[in-house]
Every structure is written in structure tokens, then in C-alpha cells.
Amino acid sequence: MAIPTYDQLMLPVLRLAAERGTAVTLREAVDVLGKQLQLTDAELQEYLPSGAQKKFTNRVSWAIMYLKHARLLESVGRGYFRVTDRGMALLEERPEFIDLKTLERYPEFVAFRTRSHRDRNDAAHRTEARNILAETSPTETLEAVYEYLRNELAEELLEKLKAGSPRFFEQVVIDLLVKMGYGGSRADAGQAVGKSGDGGIDGIIKEDKLGLDMIYVQAKRWDNTPVGSQEIMKFAGALQAHRATKGVFITTSRFTPDAADYVKHISTKIVLIDGATLARLMIDHDVGVSTIATYPLKQIDNDYFDEGL
């Protein structure tokens, strides 16, 4: 048989998790489902065009990710997942299949599908990846799908940050700031961030490798509660108490409009980094992500075919 699509795999993945009753890994899911579906060795060994990952493994991982966004599965430790009460309730309905329409019954999945497009106006970003081909040129399609996958990756990064410990979040902040060129060495930044906790200051890092100026950091690992102006005022007050002129306020949540407006009207320079911006910066600077494939885009070299030269 042909390798099932990721949506065709969602029901088998959910059933497997329910039957196990304990945490399951991606590798286990691939092994068990490959046997259940009677895939041939050739099908199990088939790679994506990029050669970066086996096709069946890729599709199982996408099925798991979508089921997690619908809260039918949940992560339990690094690399493990298990069925939720919601997932068990769906299986009790004895569905013949699970597709995207099924997942749209759940508000968390609908929110996941719409969050990445909320602040974008151009049609390519608001159109689901499966509809892009009908409206764009091949180059535009490639770029739109790239942005679509990037947005989904950003959403997944935020979920992992919110599920992690405060200490782990501090490590992420350190890694990101160092990758961006701040904090001097990682050892210097690691000694500074998360060590202060002094009057609204979570850390102090070097603005450059020489330490000619310092930046004060506040990091809030919040879920969905927005950071308001009161929190920013406290941070600004802490900066003044330290005679500091520069600060960075980082959160996994978002900032209220009055918080964003407040930093525009004070003399102290405070940069606000919300969850969406944080995720994009992590992707841009390869923090918590890795490149699985590259696709060189080539065009005709007209100079080469110019016979007049």
C-alpha cells in the first residue's frame, strides 16, 4: 500500500497511544504503525526529496503534532507523548477517521490554526497551505509554504517554552542573547541572567563583548496572561534605581497596548519582546531548532548563454 498521509495516520496514532496507556515515543509509533499498516521495507525506508528524513517518520510526527494541538495527545517528558481524556472520549465515539475537520471541533486547535495569521493582511499568509497553489506562482508558493511552516514551528516553540521550567526559560534567554551578540561569552551571561532577582531585575548582561555598557533583563514565562503597563512600570523603576538606561523585557505571553504605549513615553530605553517575537528570534538565530533541509533555488544564467561575449 502507499504510505498514508499524515491525516490518515492521526486515528492510528491516537489508537496506539490509547492501547499503550503509557507514554509513547515517535520511534515506537513509527515501528508499531509500520507493522500494523503492513508497509514494506522499501516504503519504510523511503526518504523525503531532501533526504533529510524518512517519509513515514515525517508523516507520523506531523500527525502527532496536530493531535497535540487539539489536546488529544499531550507531551510527557522530552520525546514522549500520551493520550488525554479528550482523546479517549473521541475514541469512544468510534470515528472511522480523524481529519482536520474533526480537529476543528476543539477550540485549542482552531486557535492554533488562526494565531499565526491573526496579524497578517496578505492573502498568502491567511490561506491554508493546501490552498496556496491555486492562487500563486511557483516561487510565491514556495515562499508562502515556507512562511506557513515557519509559523507552525514558532507556535510549537512557544508551547515548549511555556511547558518548561522557569530555569530552562532562563537558559533559553541566555542562549538567545548570546547568539544575538549580547552578554559577552555564554559563561558571563550565564552568571548574570537569573542570578540577580533584585527589585524587578532578573539579570544584567553586557551589551557588547567588552562590557562597555550593560543591559538589564526581565524575563516572564507566562502562559496567556498579557503583561500590562504595571509590570513595565515596575521594571522601569528598577532600572532607575540602578541608574540603568537600557532594559529588555521578555515574555512568552504578549503585552497589552498600554504597556507598549508606556515604553514610548519614558526616557529609559526598554525593548519589549513578546512570545511571537521571541519564537521568531529563536528560529532566526538557531536556538532550540535545527535545519533539516535546504532547497537551493536556481535560475537561468543569461550571461552564460550570451554568445556575443
Q: Where residue 133 falls among pLDDT bands split at 50, 70, 90?
A: very low
Q: Do 57 and 41 touch, CB atoms closer than 8 A? A: no
User: Per-residue pLDDT tens for 40-82?
Assistant: 999 999 887 666 678 899 899 889 989 999 999 998 876 789 9
Q: Which of 55, 80, 74, 75 is nearest to 3 (CA)?
A: 55
pLDDT at position 197 over 60: no
Mean pLDDT across 86-97: 96
Q: How far apart are CA 218 and CA 231, in angstroms?
A: 10
pLDDT for 308: 59
Reduced to 3 states (helix: H, G, I; strand: E, B; else coil), residue 82 is: strand
C-alpha cell at 182: 549580547
Domains of the chain as residue ranges with CATH: 1-115 (1.10.10.10), 166-273 (3.40.1350.10)
pLDDT for 132: 42
Q: Where residue 115 falls among pLDDT bands split at 50, 70, 90?
A: low
Mean pLDDT across 292-307: 76
Question: 87: Cβ–Cβ under 8 A, 6 or more apart, which residues?
Answer: 14, 17, 18, 67, 71, 72, 73
Q: How far apart are CA 157 and CA 280, in angstroms?
A: 9
pLDDT for 250: 94
C-alpha cell at 23: 507514554
Q: Do 170 and 194 touch, CB atoms closer than 8 A? A: yes
Q: Where residue 203 falls among pLDDT bands split at 50, 70, 90?
A: confident
Q: Where residue 309 falls among pLDDT bands split at 50, 70, 90?
A: low
Q: Do 144 and 127 touch, CB atoms closer than 8 A? A: yes
For the ranges 77-81, 206-210, 243-247, which has the lowest average pLDDT? 206-210
pLDDT for 186: 65
C-alpha cell at 224: 496567556
pLDDT at position 110 over 60: yes
Q: Which of 214, 210, 162 is nearest to 193 (CA)?
A: 214
Q: How far apart are CA 251 and CA 279, in angstroms?
A: 10
**Buried b or exposed e, range 118-152, using 16+ CB within 10 angstroms:** eeeeeebbebeeeebeeebeeeebeebbebbebbb
Q: Do 228 and 251 touch, CB atoms closer than 8 A? A: no
Q: Where residue 195 falls among pLDDT bands split at 50, 70, 90?
A: low
Q: How far apart are CA 75 and CA 151, in angstroms?
A: 20
Mean pLDDT across 199-221: 78
For residues 281 and 215, the model is more confident at 281
Q: Where residue 228 falls among pLDDT bands split at 50, 70, 90?
A: very high
Q: How far apart are CA 70 and CA 65, in angstroms?
A: 9
For residues 116 and 100, the model is more confident at 100
Straight-line distance from the first to the last Cα atom of the chain, in angstroms, rounded to the nearest whole number: 55
pLDDT for 56: 92
